[in-house]
């Protein structure tokens, strides 16, 4: 148990609770052991050695464009297509939840830019991250399930021409450190979200978000700062 707890804390940056039933812990260790064996096939970054974890049914396309840091864990059914100009890079101890999609390009004929995910960030289950215009996600971020990031949209000004033939517009998405993006939120092209910001579940973010601010709604609107002090009571 001590060895397991040490390894867990080193990989995830937090202690393993001591009240986990032995049967649950044993199953967890067995599953992670199998994932670690599968993880031997993952492309490695040159900066660090260490375990990498690959869940059942993970699909990786264009692996020569993918770099995976030590401690990265890919959940069941993850798809990564790393074909893009500057590749897809996952920093140390990143976790990618079951069913998530990280796609460097929208279509093969229109190569995307890149996807960069910082250390210890958690990509939630069924997330969709498209790197057509470039997506940068900082360290220690939390993305809930079903979060979508799309760094491209379509031109549609000419009603006499099919939208699919009018081209597209791209702009990078930049997410700072320690950002929490709630379940079902969507972040659109050209948006920068500052460090420590919180994006409420279901929001559609179309404009920049200041550091440590909370936004919510469709489209997302500023709901105030996390650092604001409550007003003093006069009584």
> Can you give the pLDDT at residue 194?
98
pLDDT of residue 49: 66
Query: Quick one: which of 207, 215, 218, 146 has its CA closest to 179?
Result: 215
Q: Helices then strands (H, E): number in the chain?
A: 2, 24
Q: Which has the higher per-residue pLDDT, 205 or 109? A: 205
Is residue 221 pLDDT above 60, yes or no? yes
> Residues with catalytic annotation?
154
Statement: residue 46 has pLDDT above 60: no
Q: What's the confidence (pLDDT) of residue 229?
A: 58
Calculate mean pLDDT across residues 5-27: 76
What pLDDT shows up at residue 111? 92
Residues 6+ apart with CB under 8 A from 79: 58, 59, 60, 61, 100, 101, 102, 103
Q: Tell me the C-alpha to C-alpha distance, in Å, between residue 165 and each of 111, 129, 160, 161.
A: 16, 23, 11, 7
CA angle in degrees (0–180, nearest 5) for 97-171-83: 55
Instruction: Provide the mean pLDDT of the chain.
Output: 90
pLDDT at 90: 96
Q: What pLDDT was estimated at residue 42?
A: 87
Tens digits of residue pLDDT in 115-161: 999 999 999 999 999 999 999 999 999 999 999 999 998 889 889 99
Mean pLDDT of 70-89: 96
pLDDT in the model for residue 31: 83
Q: Would you say 92 and 44 are in contact if contact means Cβ atoms under 8 Å apart?
A: no
């Amino acid at each position: 148990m001590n060895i397991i707890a040490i390894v867990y804390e080193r990989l995830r940056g937090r202690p393993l609770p001591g009240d986990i039933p032995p049967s649950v812990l044993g199953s967890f260790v067995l599953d992670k052991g199998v994932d670690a064996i599968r993880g031997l096939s993952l492309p490695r970054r040159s900066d660090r050695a260490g375990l990498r974890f690959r869940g059942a049914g993970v699909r990786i396309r264009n692996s020569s464009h993918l770099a995976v840091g030590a401690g990265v864990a890919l959940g069941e059914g993850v798809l990564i297509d790393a074909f893009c100009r500057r590749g897809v890079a996952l920093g140390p101890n990143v976790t990618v939840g079951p069913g998530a999609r990280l796609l460097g390009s929208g279509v093969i004929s229109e190569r995307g830019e890149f996807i960069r995910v910082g250390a210890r960030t958690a990509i939630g289950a069924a997330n969709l991250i498209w790197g057509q215009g470039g997506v940068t996600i900082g360290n220690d971020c939390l993305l809930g399930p079903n979060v979508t990031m799309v760094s491209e949209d379509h031109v549609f000004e000419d009603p006499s021409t099919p939208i699919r033939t009018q081209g597209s517009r791209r702009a990078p998405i930049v997410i700072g450190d320690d950002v929490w993006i709630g379940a079902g939120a969507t972040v659109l092209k050209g948006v920068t979200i500052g460090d420590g910001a919180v994006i409420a579940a279901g929001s559609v973010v179309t404009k920049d978000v200041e550091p440590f601010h909370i936004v919510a709604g469709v489209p997302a609107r500023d709901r105030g700062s996390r650092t604001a002090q409550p007003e003093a009571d006069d009584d």
